[in-house]
Chain A
Amino acid sequence: MASAVAPPPVLKQEEAAVEPSANDAISPADALYDKCAERPQGHTFFQRDLSNMQVAETMAELTMILQELCDRHLLKLMTFEGDPCWKLRSRADAEKLRRLTPDERLLYHHIDQVQAEGIWSKALRARTNVTQQTLTKCLKSLESKDLVQSVMSVKFPNRKMYLLKHLKPSEDIAGGPWQSEGDFDVALINTISGIIAQHVENETCIRVPGNWNDYELAVMHKKEEVRDIEEAPAVKPYRPSRDPNTSRLLHKHNPQYPTAASVADWLNSKEILKGKFVREDDMEQLLEMMVLDDRLEKISGTNYRTVLRAADTKAYNGFVDAPCGNCPVFDLCGNEGEISARTCVYFGQWLETTSEEV
């Protein structure tokens, strides 16, 4: 359905709205409302639908009833491709709306128009031409009545965006699946990136046990029959471990390298993120972040793979492995004086020798 755009409000009529007398057991207006309420929530009614409900006898009466319902805020008038159409409001909401001041109602209407995109308070003021004080007061009161909510925009962190209470802020102002309340959801990001790292590892790496190619053992089995000691295998300069309990993670041969699109598909199909759909752009952002984090590496364009480290021990470099590289007073250290190589406590600890007392 295309987005329905409401026509400008008819202020005079709203102001002149009179509480309808409910002396009848049930007025035709209420009957129509009840009939409409039977439809699924959020349904849009066109004139044809409403006349088909056979509450009103004539077209004129229907118009009257609709006018009454609109005045009571039970219906919301919109247009779709030039035709008028209506949406139902709950009685509670309508009640709240009825109690608004005209200014509040005006603001509410504008906020209602932008739907999930939200509207910046300044833009709201520009559109409605109310004073700053009125604006602040009305917005506060609307918020306290649970009709609108304010959200910090992700794009412009210092802008307060207003939108109706029951709407979910759009991605433009609330950010993608990785953000909540305008900030990155670190816990979520950590969990998901861990899952993705594992997935990418499964796709691009292979765990090979130490005894994957135990030809010496095989040779020995054969030799046992022949019993030839002379042909002992030559001493190798370097022998990888043959222990079946050890294993090494290696880059897979001809793997299907994951891309942002494929990982996003995989994640969506797993439905790990409840109620959130991860687009390719969101996934690319996350994967690029993981590259910066040194968990993935990018190869040839859009492909990612796991970063492998063959060496277990982490040596940094000659400078930072010495005491000077991490010394908090490195810049103060001189050839002589209180801080120098002779008096250095860090050298003392490192070398297990004593330094000169200052």
Chain B
Amino acid sequence: MAYTQRETPVLAELCTFLVEDIYGELAARVYSILARYGRQTLAAVARASYLSGRQIKYGLVILLQQHLVFHSGNDAPTTYYEIDWQNSYAIVRFGKVTKLVEDRFGRKAANVMTNLLALGHTRIADLKEAYFPTATESDDDSDDGTANGTGSKRKRANGAQVNGAATRKNGVPAELSDAKPDSAVVANGDGMTNGDHKPSKANGVTHNAAPDHAVQEQGADEITSVDELYDLIELLIKRGWVRTVNETQYMSPGDMHDMFQQEAIEQDNNGATPTGTKDRDLVHRGIIDRKRAMRDEWLKVPRFARTGRPNSSNKRVKMNGANGWAASSAPSSDDDLVIRVNPEKIAVAMRTEQLVHLVEQRLGYLTARIYQTMLRMLESNIPRCWDEWPEPSLPGGEPGAENGIDPHFLVTARDVATKLSREMDIFEGLDPNAVVQITRKGHVHRTNILSQPIDPSRLSLDEKTMVVDKHIQLLSEDPLHFVTWHSRAGFSQWHIEFEEIAKQMIQTEVENTISSRKGSLGVKLIRTLRKKGKLDERAACNTMMMSANDIRGIVNDLTIQGFVQTQEIPKVDRREAKHSLHLVWYDRQRAREKLLHDTYKGMVRILQRIAYERGKVQPTLEKAERSDVVGKEEQYLSKGEVDTLKKWKEVQEKLLLQLFREDDLVATLRDFHGPLISV
């Protein structure tokens, strides 16, 4: 079959849908070419599509701005473009990110975050400009007003580099530079579409891309001063939610590897291609070290020139700053900093949420709140869920740094007790006997009722710490071992073994899926195989304590679904089936990949269904969106039309909610743990 006719891999399909939904058709068409053909040059993209060169450039600029596409460095003679799948998929999380930030840093920070998501990477000055538009209309090309303001300013940012060296600090390769102004318009225009496609009902926060709108809408949560905005940005960077952008982030993993390999060979191995095991190991180590150094560089908190006083950096006038804006207010060198959302941190926060949810299901509301407090305290010290480039173990065996845990990853019961809101009934979910043991007041009746009720809000800090410790003990006793004891500091000090828990979470999701499809028998089989490894029928029967007839059906079903594998080992030369061993086994990694793949497909179907449902009500929607109808719906719309719209809203909401839940599943399966070693 011709390559172009091949069925599109599910993830590519899903991402193309997402891109089309948010960034419009043009971007999606360019994107889908890259998705189908893989790494391409500009010329090759043009050959593979019916778009004009100019259109392709516009499309690419949108994609680059949003970090959906990698491109090879400037040094190479031709620039290659390649899709960044992780970031592309992350589009589905926009609403979730806003919610996560809001829970942690409040609505104002969430607002900043929303804008950063909508704009892609952004210069701080542009963000500021979006919130506090300058009054001067004498800008070089500010005729397009505030709605498109950010976009046009971004272009100016391109020309306004500190050293004036690169014309593409924004990451747009030189060959696309002529496309910039218009692309900005397109990007912003699509931001509007974004606003109406996904008003993010689930989260109650708009995706609105036009910042000035957002500011007006959220009057109460308005960011009132430039300083406040800067503080928020600084906070987000410090906590690792936002990172600075530099050129290396545009390199595809392959390019990056080649570059570092070259560098490692030159510097560590004197330029000779490594041949022996030792040399190879040295170079490998060098590559990984460099990758990690680069990654840490991205997360480094820049030194903010501004010291909290406005105008303090007034002297730092841009050397070659653009004409209009430099004089408008108090620009600082921070203004040139380009920032974007750090996707790795989003996964960390999602892990927190899901763990809390899991604990709530297993141990109850209050224990979950305590776990949440612990996790959030640790969160700012955890840059990512798992390390793609871990320190390779030394040839001697165990690495030396194993003996101690970084105190950043420890949390004490006292810390939690101090942080916990007084409003919580912290006795909930505890055995009354445990409570009495701590408070030493009264006793427990035979009906398990306290003889002297105790108001939990009147406990001393010591008592509170002890109560919290009881909850934490529940967490540690659970078979999932949500926390692990570390020392006696601060009454009791704990750390969390995320790796083990993440594996268990994957397992739980696989079991959930099977449980829903095949009931408890299927789950029992999977657990048996996971515990015992490869089993023949008899051994499986023995462990499950069931007869072979009852098991055969389920083994068959799960094999067809791809969760269980079978194997036949001949015992005699003639390979007679009668004389062969028939083994069944379960491979967590395979089940994980299969489920992940299916989930992607399920998401595609949901997006397709949304499109279909929208198509059905399109005429009514169009009517309702007409400028003369908006606000006077009752006057212009018939009752039938109103009902149709209401139904459509419900349907869309239900589908989107399910989409976000499937995304949670994707996060569990894909983002919380690296690839598992088979069996």
Contacts and interface: CB of A to CB of B under 8 A. Distances in A.
Interface in A197-234: 206-209, 211-219, 234
A341 B608 contact: yes
Given A184-B541, A335-B13, A318 B661 contact: yes
Contact of A318 (B366, B647, B658): B658
A189 B524 CA distance: 15
Interface string B441-456: 0000001111001111
B222 interface: no
A260 B361 CA distance: 28
A298 interface: yes
A310 B361 contact: yes
Contact of B448 (A206, A214, A238, A333): A206
B432 A322 contact: no
Contacts of B479: 297-299
A98 interface: no
Interface stretch (B33-41, B515-523, B569-577): B515-523
Contact of A321 (B365, B661, B663): B661
B362 A308 contact: yes
Given A212-B448, A311-B361, A186 B598 contact: no
Contact of A293 (B520, B598, B654): B520
12 contacts: A212-B450, A213-B449, A240-B365, A253-B437, A288-B543, A289-B543, A293-B524, A318-B662, A319-B595, A320-B517, A333-B605, A342-B609
Interface residues of B, number: 81
A113 B432 CA distance: 63
A324 B601 contact: yes
Contacts of B197: none
Interface in B507-541: 509, 512-513, 515-517, 520, 523-524, 527-528, 531, 538, 541
A319 B665 contact: yes
Given A237-B423, A297-B479, 4 more contacts: A207-B448, A292-B527, A310-B364, A317-B512
B449 A237 contact: no
B477 A251 contact: yes
Interface in B421-449: 421, 423-425, 427-435, 437, 447-449
A309 interface: yes
A234 B531 contact: no
B247 interface: no
A289 B544 contact: yes
B517 to A, nearest CB: 6
B274 to A, nearest CB: 45
A319 B435 contact: no
A286 B470 CA distance: 31
Interface in B162-217: none
A208 B531 CA distance: 34
A211 B428 CA distance: 11
Contacts of A157: 538
Contacts of B604: 335, 341
Which 8 A-B pairs rank lowest in CB-CB distance, beginning with the nearest?
A318-B661, A341-B608, A253-B431, A215-B453, A253-B434, A324-B602, A318-B662, A320-B516
Interface string A250-274: 1111100000000000000000000
A178 interface: yes
A145 to B, nearest CB: 32
A316 B449 CA distance: 35
Interface in B391-436: 421, 423-425, 427-435
B467 to A, nearest CB: 12
B475 to A, nearest CB: 11
A319 B595 CA distance: 9
Interface residues of A, number: 69
Contact of A213 (B453, B541, B550): B453
A252 B544 CA distance: 29
B363 to A, nearest CB: 6
Contacts of B430: 250, 253
A243 interface: no
Interface in B605-643: 605-606, 608-609, 612-613, 616
Contacts of B282: none
Given A157-B538, A207-B448, A240-B365, A292 B531 contact: yes
Contacts of B362: 308-310
B600 to A, nearest CB: 10
A109 B602 CA distance: 69
A7 interface: no
Contacts of A298: 479
A200 B362 CA distance: 18
Contacts of A297: 479
B429 A317 contact: no
Contacts of B470: 253
A209 B424 CA distance: 19
Nearest to A206: B431
A302 interface: no
A325 interface: yes
Contacts of B13: 335
Given A292-B524, A341-B605, A215 B544 contact: no
B545 A189 contact: yes
Nearest to A320: B516
B546 interface: yes
B662 A322 contact: yes
A49 interface: no
Contacts of B449: 209, 211-214
Interface string B34-61: 0000000000000000000000000000
Contacts of B528: 292
Interface in A315-346: 316-322, 324-326, 330, 333, 335, 340-342, 344
A250 B366 CA distance: 13
A208 B647 contact: no
Interface in B122-179: none
Contacts of A212: 432, 448-450
B664 A286 contact: no
Contacts of A356: 612
A146 interface: no
Interface in A58-87: none
B477 A299 contact: yes
A213 B439 CA distance: 13
A285 B449 CA distance: 38
**For B605, B608, B647, which residue has the most chain A Cβ atoms within 10 angstroms?**
B605
A173 to B, nearest CB: 14
Contacts of A251: 431, 474, 477
Contacts of A253: 430-431, 433-434, 437, 470
Contacts of A12: none
Nearest to B608: A341
Most chain A CB atoms below 10 A, which of B453, B602, B609: B609
B516 A326 contact: yes
B546 A184 contact: yes
Given A215-B455, A252-B431, A209 B613 contact: no
